[in-house]
Amino acid sequence: MARFTMTRLTVVDLARIAVFAALIAALAQASVHLFGNAVPITGQTLGVMLAGLVLAAGVLWDPLTRAADRAARSFDKPPPPVSEKRS
């Protein structure tokens, strides 16, 4: 049996959800009827795919973002002292 862990949503997460819900609702209004087809093609599908890509990117790229952040912070540290010996 699968175990699920509960996580709290942040304000940023809720804002992203609201923005993409509004985007999907707006794109649902745009439709194209191809070749007299009874079923129109709507932009809602595009909105769902776009939301999935953008929202999943935060989950997929989060480890890379943290690694890049650590690397950027390492540049803030002063360099180690260099010995004056030269050959």
Question: pTM for this one?
Answer: 0.55
What span, in angstroms and rounded, lies between the C-alpha atoms of 28 and 87?
Answer: 72
The number of domains in the chain is 1
Q: Where are the beta strands (DSSP E) in the chain?
A: 31-32, 41-42
- Residue 3 is assigned to a structural domain of this protein: no
Give the amino acid at 40: P
Domain that holds residue 46: 11-72
In this prediction, residue 40 has a pLDDT band, given cuts at 50, 70 and 90, of confident
What span, in angstroms and rounded, lies between the C-alpha atoms of 60 and 9?
Answer: 17
pLDDT at 11: 82
- Residue 23 is assigned to a structural domain of this protein: yes
pLDDT at 56: 75
What span, in angstroms and rounded, lies between the C-alpha atoms of 29 and 41?
Answer: 10
Q: What is the pLDDT of residues 63-85, one digit of tens each?
A: 666 666 677 677 666 666 776 66
